[in-house]
Amino acid sequence: MPANLPPQYFETEKRLKTAKTPQEKIVILEELLSIVPKHKGTEKLQALLKTKISKLKSSAQKKASTARHSPIHLVEKSGAGQVVLVGPPNSGKSKLVKSLTNANPEIGDYPFTTRLAYPAMMKYENIQIQLVDTPPITLDYMETWLPELIKGADGVLLILDLADPSLPDALTAVLMKLEEKRIKFISENKRSPEEEKLYHKKALIVANKKDLVPEENIDTLLMELYGEKLEIVTVSALDQDGLDELKKKIFFMLDVIRIYSKAPGKKATFDEPFTLKKGSTVIDFARAVHRDFAQKMKYARIWSERKYQGQMVNRDHVLEDEDVIELHI
């Protein structure tokens, strides 16, 4: 019995040759299957198409499931900035992520609990900041993908355990391993010319487990730590102590400003700010709102807590955190 395939079948079949991914092929094969007239003469062809589809689907699934077990190299950025938590084993990185977000990373009282990058969102006032928990770093051990993740991040938290007797060595090990990969932590965006080959990453030291050490010992401990080079925040992830201060410092480390958009004749909305790099201007804001606005914008009006009550400003006006902007196009 002849198959009597319609011309549409052959048109679609041609597209199969140019399909690049298994997913594209599956879509085209399923389209072909729906075009094939359903009668005795096409039974073989239908079976052939179905086999091809199921083979492609099962190999795609196999790839996806092995991908889940391999290390996640890069974490897609989300929110106002990406902050990576690094540190020696057992210092409380995962506990801190759990205390600062709604996420539930694995926490263990033994080293090397965390094996993969684990992103979670932290709410700070009216914005979200992405935190990424990572496996520990020691003299003998660092995941190969971790330096790449750090290089791409907007900031780093170096989590240390105040109660660890070998704390200075643990800290030195982390800094050495990262310097081998040309990463150097700094407190501000400064770089000297002779260090140009290094990746300078803004970082904060988070001295954790303050609940375990007597208050009077903390100062001397902190002096031993790197104090003159990086800012230190003392916290207890367990008791949720010092976390508000830490959140504020994380926000300032990102160097972003929040800008509220206001439509003419309407009230501003304060729950969903645009976040822009510090130093951004009115025209940068217009571009962030809509890519056409940068060209169409005639002028803007500005409101702020202390300085402005609706004054007209031009496109080069530098914005500050929590300014309200009304764009006129």
Ligand X SMILES: Nc1nc2c(ncn2[C@@H]2O[C@H](COP(=O)(O)OP(=O)(O)OP(=O)(O)O)[C@@H](O)[C@H]2O)c(=O)[nH]1
Q: What phi and psi values does residue 54 have, to the nearest 5 degrees?
A: -70, -35
Which whole-number Å values give the CA distances from 169 to 97, 116, 160, 192, in the listed order? 24, 24, 11, 27
The Cα–Cα gap between 82 and 65 comes to 26
Judged by beta carbon, residue 89 or residue 147, the one nearer ligand X is 89
Q: Which stretch in 58-66, 72-80, 87-95, 270-278 sits in contact with ligand X by CB under 6 A?
A: 87-95
The Cα–Cα gap between 75 and 146 comes to 11
Contact yes or no for 184/198 (Cβ under 8 A) = yes
List the interface residues with Mg ion, window 230-249 (CB under 5 A): none
List the interface residues with ligand X, window 260-319 (CB under 6 A): none
- 111 lies in the binding site for ligand X (CB under 6 A): yes
Residue of the chain from 47, 74, 212, 263 that contacts ligand X (CB under 6 A):
212
Q: Which stretch in 146-154, 198-206, 236-244, 266-274 sits in contact with ligand X by CB under 6 A?
A: 236-244
List the interface residues with Mg ion, window 79-118 (CB under 5 A): 93-94, 113-114
Q: Which stretch in 83-91, 119-127, 295-303, 321-329 sits in contact with ligand X by CB under 6 A?
A: 83-91
Judged by beta carbon, residue 26 or residue 174, the one nearer ligand X is 174
- Give least dist CB 131 to ligand X, A: 12
Judged by beta carbon, residue 32 or residue 142, the one nearer ligand X is 142
Q: What phi and psi values does residue 266 have, to the nearest 5 degrees?
A: -120, 165
- 113 lies in the binding site for ligand X (CB under 6 A): yes
Residue of the chain from 84, 95, 143, 157 that contacts ligand X (CB under 6 A):
95
Radius of gyration of the chain (CA): 27
- Give least dist CB 133 to ligand X, A: 7
Angle between helices 22-35 and 7-18 (to 10 degrees): 170
130 binds, among ligand X, Mg ion, none (CB under 5 to 8 A by kind): none
Contact yes or no for 129/161 (Cβ under 8 A) = no
SS3 260: strand
Judged by beta carbon, residue 108 or residue 310, the one nearer Mg ion is 108
The Cα–Cα gap between 256 and 81 comes to 8
The Cα–Cα gap between 118 and 127 comes to 20
Q: Which stretch in 63-71, 111-119, 121-129, 223-231 sits in contact with ligand X by CB under 6 A?
A: 111-119
Helix spans in the chain (H): 7-18, 22-35, 43-69, 93-100, 146-152, 167-180, 215-224, 243-254, 282-289, 293-296
Residue of the chain from 3, 33, 107, 116 that contacts ligand X (CB under 6 A):
107
Residues that bind Mg ion (CB under 5 A): 93-94, 113-114
Residues that bind ligand X (CB under 6 A): 87, 89-95, 107-109, 111-114, 136, 208-209, 211-212, 236-238
